[in-house]
Amino acid sequence: MRPEVLNPLFVETSALEGVGPKMMKPLEKLGLTRVRDIAYHLPDRFVTRRPVKNLDEASEGEQIVIPLTVVEHRASRNNRGPYRVLAQDDAGNVCTLTYFGRASFTAKKLLPVGEKRWASGRLDRFGDALQIVHPDHVEKEGSASLGRLNEPVYSLSEGLTQPRVASLVEQALGRLPYLPEWIEPSQLDREAWPDWRDALHLAHKSENRSARDRLAYDELLANSLALLLVRADNRRRRGQSIIGNGQLRDKLQLPYDLTGAQSRSVREIEGDLAQEAPMLRLLQGDVGAGKTVVALMAMLIANEAGKQAALLAPTEILARQHYETLRQMAAPTGVEIALLTGRDKGRARESILMGLLDGSIDIVVGTHAIFQESVGYRDLALVVIDEQHRFGVQQRLQLASKGKAPPHTLAMTATPIPRTLTLAQYGEMDVSRLDEMPPGRQPIDTVVVSQDRLEDVIAGVARHVEGGQQAYWVCPMVRESETDDIAAAEARYALLKERFGGDVVLVHGQLRPEEKDAAMERFASGNAKLLVATTVIEVGVDVPAATLMVIEQAERFGLAQLHQLRGRVGRGSEKSVCLLLRGSALSETGRKRLALMRETQDGFRIAEEDLELRGGGELLGTRQSGDTPFRVADLEQITRLLPAAHADARLLMDRDGGLSSERGQAARILLYLFERDWGVQLLRGG
């Protein structure tokens, strides 16, 4: 169904020259599976090099291109150390070319002793010696690439090099088709943006703000359009009006009164459910604000009307926890609650599937297993999605096909998304906000500590644990590679185990689900005192007796993420503490961000100010759009360009809701290009 003109872009990367089976993995790791992805793998930054005759002309920290004669190779004694190649300039100054890991093989090949080579890279000092670590290029005299003094720097994964990626990009750019313009001509003129094809070429060539903006705008426009199409489709659909009689809700025996915000949210949901148009509502509430009970109320309304409800969780651990919590809370009502995850097999699974089909199960809690094809429902009327930012809209639509009529949807998120991003992520969903915390919460003491004081921190944790309380220990993030993160977590676990023995458990993303559960179980039951984890504990886990949280290399985490992590403590009646360990080289922004964490516990304020702190950064290099549905647009661009993109999308929809005009057709191509084509599919269906 994809427009043919886009076909060259959706060819697999393996079709490009020089991509063998060995390169597939590193490419996949970066999400570069098709030509399109390569073309959109925009440089993180550009390096500008200065050609110098000898080292006397160069200064430390400078990017240079320099002719050197290879003198000697020195492998380190153990294999893990650096591999050094000593080389000399024409004035007799020595410079070391240093390689780590597998790169030493390349060094052996590229740098024969006695030969002259041009090396480019950043000149650094290591002790008394000058060195270039992992030169970007090593070339013979007369090589073409020597002329490239201004070069893009791409993000890489293990097994890829800059020249490799550059060559793939060049090939991808060579395959770009000519596409019709989807941006309003007046807008294009006003901004003086290049057309799509030129913009991609320019963005890879130099720091070209207007090219980058245009590409970001395309992505934002595609997203807004797709969300508006979903919205329009939703308005056209007829769902089922659900009216509860209150009987089940009255049976709940909650040990507390709902807060004003909770009651208001329940009323808003109740109002939506009574409508025929399917509800599309976002329940936004900070960690610990009490979303679960609101979700339960909503599901009980469906049950009161004789219909089923499903709660979708992003992870097994969370699904299990929700299941336990809901079962306890709902016990007095007598509704039947089941848990369904990808792990359930055989008989147990069969019996749950039967229960869903014949309606004997009222509420099912689970991971995305609950919307597999094989799962059918008797009358699914409400779907609650916890932490919905992890689910694509596509999955939401898949779920929608499960009901007799499209079910009502309630999405819950603890991510305090700034307003601009809410728009990006949820389009024009209605929002209920839990802006009031349940009473009696203890503020969390947040302290920033230097990573150098690890010993003291461990001693502090020991005192805490000996005092009978529990603690979380979140491991350093090594950035980019999950495998490295896990290695770091395992190393930390080993160290802490020396001190805490059987009191400590480890949880990370590569454990088998049974192992993960067993560890969580031991911690939740109080048998283990210390839970060492990568960020898998980020969402939802609720262990009120855990009152200490240690987060290593806190500066590497997004603030929203830190806030979520910190929200794991401060849930009981005891005073809680959060220790943010910071590295020694903290930037000014980094310092401010951690100070903000110390200062406030207001998730919305943190999110807004973080956006400001990070967003104002340089044009390139702040590609931290990890919390958003975008790959091209960064936070700053989202903030600056999204309102216009959204208004533009709305205007186009008003004028040409069927996307049939010339510009409408171009917009369809845009939707496919950014894989928001579920929007187009809705168009056809409607």
Instruction: Report the residue number whose CB is nearest to ligand ADP.
Output: 290
- Distance CA(665)–CA(441), nearest Å, equals 54
Task: Write the interaction track for Mg ion spanning residues 117-156; mark x where CB under 5 A is met and - where it is not.
Answer: ----------------------------------------
For residues 664 and 656, is the Cβ–Cβ distance under 8 A? yes
- Distance CA(67)–CA(70), nearest Å, equals 10
Binding residue (CB under 6 A) for ligand ADP from 67, 152, 285, 570: 285
- Distance CA(222)–CA(679), nearest Å, equals 9
- Touching ligand ADP, residues 509-568 (CB under 6 A): 542
Pick the piece of the chain touching ligand ADP (CB under 6 A) from 213-221, 256-264, 460-468, 582-590.
256-264
CB atoms within 10 A of CB 294: 27
Using the rule CB under 6 A, is 252 a contact of ligand ADP?
no
Binding partner selected for residue 256 from ligand ADP, Mg ion, none, CB under the kind-specific 5 to 8 Å limit: ligand ADP
For residues 599 and 470, is the Cβ–Cβ distance under 8 A? no
For residues 437 and 288, is the Cβ–Cβ distance under 8 A? yes
Residue 440 Cβ vs Mg ion, minimum distance, rounded to whole Å: 18
- Judged by beta carbon, residue 287 or residue 671, the one nearer Mg ion is 287
- Distance CA(686)–CA(680), nearest Å, equals 10
- Distance CA(198)–CA(221), nearest Å, equals 18
Binding partner selected for residue 289 from ligand ADP, Mg ion, none, CB under the kind-specific 5 to 8 Å limit: ligand ADP
Using the rule CB under 6 A, is 414 a contact of ligand ADP?
yes
- Judged by beta carbon, residue 121 or residue 567, the one nearer ligand ADP is 567
- Concatenated DSSP letters of 54-65: SGGG--TT-EEE
Please calculate the CA angle 484-488-494 and round it to the nearest 5 degrees: 145
Using the rule CB under 6 A, is 259 a contact of ligand ADP?
yes
- Distance CA(510)–CA(482), nearest Å, equals 9
- Touching ligand ADP, residues 286-325 (CB under 6 A): 287-293
Please calculate the CA angle 35-37-40 and round it to the nearest 5 degrees: 110
H or E stretch at 378: none
- Touching ligand ADP, residues 152-171 (CB under 6 A): none
Residue 326 Cβ vs ligand ADP, minimum distance, rounded to whole Å: 10
Using the rule CB under 6 A, is 416 a contact of ligand ADP?
no
Pick the piece of the chain touching ligand ADP (CB under 6 A) from 252-260, 388-396, 584-592, 664-672.
252-260
CB atoms within 10 A of CB 150: 12
207: amino acid identity, one letter: E
Binding partner selected for residue 288 from ligand ADP, Mg ion, none, CB under the kind-specific 5 to 8 Å limit: ligand ADP
For residues 668 and 657, is the Cβ–Cβ distance under 8 A? no
Binding partner selected for residue 438 from Mg ion, ligand ADP, none, CB under the kind-specific 5 to 8 Å limit: ligand ADP
Binding partner selected for residue 43 from Mg ion, ligand ADP, none, CB under the kind-specific 5 to 8 Å limit: none
- Give me the helices (H) in 254-366, please: 260-273, 291-304, 316-330, 346-358
Please give the span between the terminal C-alpha atoms of the chain, in angstroms, as a whole number.
Answer: 16
Task: Write the interaction track for ligand ADP spanning residues 569-598; mark x where CB under 6 A is met and - where it is not.
Answer: --x---------------------------
Binding residue (CB under 6 A) for ligand ADP from 170, 256, 354, 372: 256
Binding partner selected for residue 137 from Mg ion, ligand ADP, none, CB under the kind-specific 5 to 8 Å limit: none
Residue 512 Cβ vs ligand ADP, minimum distance, rounded to whole Å: 26
- Judged by beta carbon, residue 9 or residue 318, the one nearer ligand ADP is 318
- Concatenated DSSP letters of 101-146: TTHHHHHHHH--TT-EEEEEEEEEEETTEEEEES-SEEE-TT-GGG
Binding residue (CB under 5 A) for Mg ion from 278, 314, 540, 570: 540
Q: Number of C-alpha atoms within 13 angstroms, CB side, residue 165?
A: 28
For 602-645, give the secondary structure using H, E and C: CHHHHHHHHHHHHHCCCCCCCCCCCCCCCCCCCHHHHHHHHHHH
- Judged by beta carbon, residue 120 or residue 564, the one nearer ligand ADP is 564
- Distance CA(261)–CA(289), nearest Å, equals 9
β-bridge pairing 363-366 and 337-340: parallel
Q: How many residues bind ligand ADP (CB under 6 A)?
A: 16
CA-nearest of 331, 307, 314, 299 to 370 is 314
Residue 441 Cβ vs ligand ADP, minimum distance, rounded to whole Å: 8
Task: Write the interaction track for ligand ADP spanning residues 424-443; mark x where CB under 6 A is met and - where it is not.
Answer: --------------x-----
Pick the piece of the chain touching Mg ion (CB under 5 A) from 159-167, 479-487, 540-548, 625-633.
540-548
Using the rule CB under 5 A, is 476 a contact of Mg ion?
no
- Judged by beta carbon, residue 193 or residue 323, the one nearer Mg ion is 323
- Concatenated DSSP letters of 463-477: HHHHTT-EEEEEPPP
Using the rule CB under 5 A, is 244 a contact of Mg ion?
no
Binding partner selected for residue 290 from Mg ion, ligand ADP, none, CB under the kind-specific 5 to 8 Å limit: ligand ADP
Using the rule CB under 5 A, is 416 a contact of Mg ion?
no
Instruction: Report the residue number whose CB is nearest to Mg ion.
Output: 540
Pick the piece of the chain touching ligand ADP (CB under 6 A) from 103-111, 285-293, 661-669, 678-686.
285-293
For residues 64 and 51, is the Cβ–Cβ distance under 8 A? yes
- Distance CA(486)–CA(465), nearest Å, equals 24
Q: How many residues bind Mg ion (CB under 5 A)?
A: 1
Residue 554 Cβ vs Mg ion, minimum distance, rounded to whole Å: 23
Binding partner selected for residue 389 from ligand ADP, Mg ion, none, CB under the kind-specific 5 to 8 Å limit: none
Interface ranges with Mg ion (CB under 5 A): 540
Interface ranges with ligand ADP (CB under 6 A): 256, 258-259, 262, 285, 287-293, 414, 438, 542, 571
